[in-house]
Chains A and B, each alone.
Chain A
Amino acid sequence: MPIKTWELDPNFKNEILNEPGGEHLTACYQCSTCTLGCPITELVPSYNPRKIIQMSLLGMRTEVLSNPDLWICAICQTCTARCPQNVVVGDVLAVIRRLAEKAEEAGEIKIESPRPLFETAFLHTVEKYGRLYDIGLAMEYYPKREGSFVAGQKAMMNDYMGFGMRMFKKGKMGPLGGHGLFKGLLASKIKQRDVMKKIFKWVEEKEK
């Protein structure tokens, strides 16, 4: 489909450039080293970091922010390591994902991928306890992803029942390892949880 120049947002590149991690966007000269070495592109041919960058530079804001492929990056840093122009491609893509989440909050786009829900659930446990709590993460993430508590429990069982049993049998979660009755089952909490709250509040203020 031809690009409609009157629909481009020439300020979009500046939005990216102004975010931490997005500073080197304009150094890209489209060599495609990022894409050729990407382990995700190998499996999902539509995934194309080079294209995402070029579309961003052109100002194709809505197309970029609503691209479902944004959410299948594994953050493996191969693109960043190999980029001859030091675009820091992985960080640029992270900036674009954050901008997409903001655009969704503003009602401009709809993100189909559950990844923002997953990341939010992960960080909620860190904010609450100071450490990752796997079970708390899953208990928030699955119901949100599936749209109801019951459907969420079912999906969680389907994905993690076997895993949970293995952790239990090996004594990594639960009493069998001799590390404590509720090892891994209850959240591990740090005492200075107020500092965690302050950190997350600071980040939220800064984002505004």
Chain B
Amino acid sequence: MSVEKLAYLPGCPSEATALEQHMSTEAVFEKLGVKLVEVEEWNCCGAAEAEDPNLVYALNARNLAIAEKDNLDIMTPCSICYYNLARTNNALKADEELRAEIKAIDPSLEYNGTITPKHVIDVLVNDIGMEEIKSKLVKKVELKVAPYYGCYLGRPPETAFDDPDDPVLMDQLIELIGGENVPFSSMKTKCCGGPLMMTRADIAFEMARKVLETAKNAGADCIALACPLCGMMLDAKQPDVEKALNLKFEMPIVYITQLLGLALGIDSSKLGLQKNVVDTKKILDKVV
């Protein structure tokens, strides 16, 4: 195993709406023996709402700089944080002038481009590795899972670490822990509608419906995902989608780290499985 210690950026949803993603990430990495050092006083990455690249670069330079001081690669479970960290890293590495300009805003924004931003899934599969994870598995998660990647893992190409059309890393993890991936390729990378939740709920709900319906029709016991905005849209807002469209899904939505945690023998309460909005008890019955 090549990775022992990482800087950890939980991201804003980790404090409330995606608390279970944060809990399960910490628990899984503890179990795998990788020390996570939370980025001290981390700030928001600007999410998709910061449309000005300069704002994104300055906001993310601060988080990168804090991790760089500890000489640690920075990992986040949030797909949007990952995208913003990675594109800032690319831009600042390539542009000395921009680096100087951002440093001039405040000395705490001095980033020299010596570390690498990573998403949790990338670290699990490519850095820690399947063999290492396999050696620590104690349970089988015999679930039919719809692996849902969302937008920022395979797109855009400049920051992607998985295939844009047919990503596979989550599929591999699910198979490793004894799960079965249901046919889901048409939906794997389709947007959940999350970014439009508060401005065009009608469009957002239709987009969420497609994801939920496809998973249900494919016979999935749950959808596994990695993005806290997808989690908010598909899990926390699922009752609203059902009500607005007069449909019933009752589709459990879990973070991939929660499923992996179960296979590693971590207690479900430590993985926050009581915090997912759609009930996850049925899932626990299939952990053997």
Q: In the complex, are the beta carbons of B44 and A78 less than 8 A apart?
A: no
What does DSSP make chain A's interface, helix, strand, loop or mixed? Answer: helix
Q: In the complex, are the beta carbons of A177 and B19 less than 8 A apart?
A: yes
Q: Considering the chains assembled together, what is the distance between the CA atoms of A175 and B48 in angstroms? A: 30
State the Cβ distance, A80 to closest chain B Cβ, in Å: 4
Q: Considering the chains assembled together, what is the distance between the CA atoms of A97 and B196 in angstroms? A: 15
A190 neighbours in B (Cβ, 8 Å): 41-43
From B41, B44, B155, A132 is in contact (CB under 8 Å) with: B44
Please, what's the 1-or-0 string for A175-207, where 1 marks a CB less than 8 Å from any CB in chain B?
001010001100010111011101110110011
Q: In the complex, are the beta carbons of A40 and B203 less than 8 A apart?
A: yes
Using a CB-CB cutoff of 8 Å, which residues 50-101 of chain A contact chain B? 71-72, 74-78, 80-82, 88, 90-91, 94, 97-98
Q: In the complex, are the beta carbons of B236 and A167 less than 8 A apart?
A: yes
* B53 CB within 8 Å of chain A: yes
* B193 CB within 8 Å of chain A: yes
Contact residue range for chain A? 35 or more
Using a CB-CB cutoff of 8 Å, which residues 47-80 of chain B contact chain A? 47-55, 58-59, 62
A81 neighbours in B (Cβ, 8 Å): 154-157, 160, 164
* A43 CB within 8 Å of chain B: yes
* A-B CB contacts (within 8 Å), total count: 162
From B46, B105, B236, A163 is in contact (CB under 8 Å) with: B236
Q: Considering the chains assembled together, what is the distance between the CA atoms of A72 and B189 in angstroms? A: 19
B44 neighbours in A (Cβ, 8 Å): 126, 130-132
From A43, A78, A118, A194, B198 is in contact (CB under 8 Å) with: A118
From B43, B51, B54, A196 is in contact (CB under 8 Å) with: B43
> Nearest residue in B to A142 (C-beta to C-beta)?
B198
Q: In the complex, are the beta carbons of A202 and B105 less than 8 A apart?
A: yes
Q: In the complex, are the beta carbons of B201 and A203 less than 8 A apart?
A: no
Using a CB-CB cutoff of 8 Å, which residues 128-153 of chain B contact chain A? 151-152
Q: Considering the chains assembled together, what is the distance between the CA atoms of A77 and B156 in angstroms? A: 6
- Given A71-B199, A123-B49: A170 and B41 within 8 A (CB)? no
State the Cβ distance, B209 to closest chain A Cβ, in Å: 10
B206 neighbours in A (Cβ, 8 Å): 43
> Nearest residue in B to A171 (C-beta to C-beta)?
B275
> Nearest residue in A to B41 (C-beta to C-beta)?
A190
> Nearest residue in B to A188 (C-beta to C-beta)?
B15
* B285 CB within 8 Å of chain A: no
> Nearest residue in B to A80 (C-beta to C-beta)?
B156
Q: Considering the chains assembled together, what is the distance between the CA atoms of A132 and B189 in angstroms? A: 26
How many chain B residues touch the partner (CB < 8 A)?
59
B51 neighbours in A (Cβ, 8 Å): 94, 97-98, 119
Q: In the complex, are the beta carbons of B156 and A126 less than 8 A apart?
A: no
From B108, B157, B194, A192 is in contact (CB under 8 Å) with: B108
Q: In the complex, are the beta carbons of A74 and B196 less than 8 A apart?
A: yes
Using a CB-CB cutoff of 8 Å, which residues 98-113 of chain B contact chain A? 105-106, 108-109
- Given A98-B51, A134-B17, A199-B59: A166 and B199 within 8 A (CB)? no
* A16 CB within 8 Å of chain B: no
- Given A172-B19, A188-B15: A20 and B53 within 8 A (CB)? yes
Q: In the complex, are the beta carbons of A126 and B15 less than 8 A apart?
A: no
Q: In the complex, are the beta carbons of B19 and A90 less than 8 A apart?
A: no
Q: Which of A20, A131, A199 has the most CB of B within 10 A?
A: A199
Q: In the complex, are the beta carbons of B46 and A123 less than 8 A apart?
A: yes
B49 neighbours in A (Cβ, 8 Å): 118-119, 122-123
State the Cβ distance, B240 to closest chain A Cβ, in Å: 6
B108 neighbours in A (Cβ, 8 Å): 192, 195
A130 neighbours in B (Cβ, 8 Å): 41, 43-44
* A21 CB within 8 Å of chain B: yes
Q: Considering the chains assembled together, what is the distance between the CA atoms of A207 and B20 in angstroms? A: 38
Q: In the complex, are the beta carbons of A126 and B236 less than 8 A apart?
A: no
* A159 CB within 8 Å of chain B: yes
| Closest CB pairs A-B (n = 5) | A184-B16, A76-B191, A77-B155, A132-B12, A122-B49
**A residues in contact (CB < 8 Å) with B:** 20-21, 39-40, 43-44, 71-72, 74-78, 80-82, 88, 90-91, 94, 97-98, 113-115, 118-119, 122-123, 126, 130-132, 134, 138, 141, 159, 162-163, 166-167, 170-173, 177, 179, 183-184, 188, 190-192, 194-196, 198-200, 202-203, 206-207
**B residues in contact (CB < 8 Å) with A:** 12-13, 15-17, 19-20, 41-44, 46-55, 58-59, 62, 105-106, 108-109, 151-152, 154-157, 160, 164, 189-191, 193-196, 198-201, 203, 206-207, 236-237, 239-240, 243, 274-277
Question: Known contacts A74-B195, A184-B15, A190-B42; can you find 6 more A-B pairs with CB under 8 A?
Answer: A21-B53, A78-B189, A122-B49, A167-B16, A184-B16, A195-B105
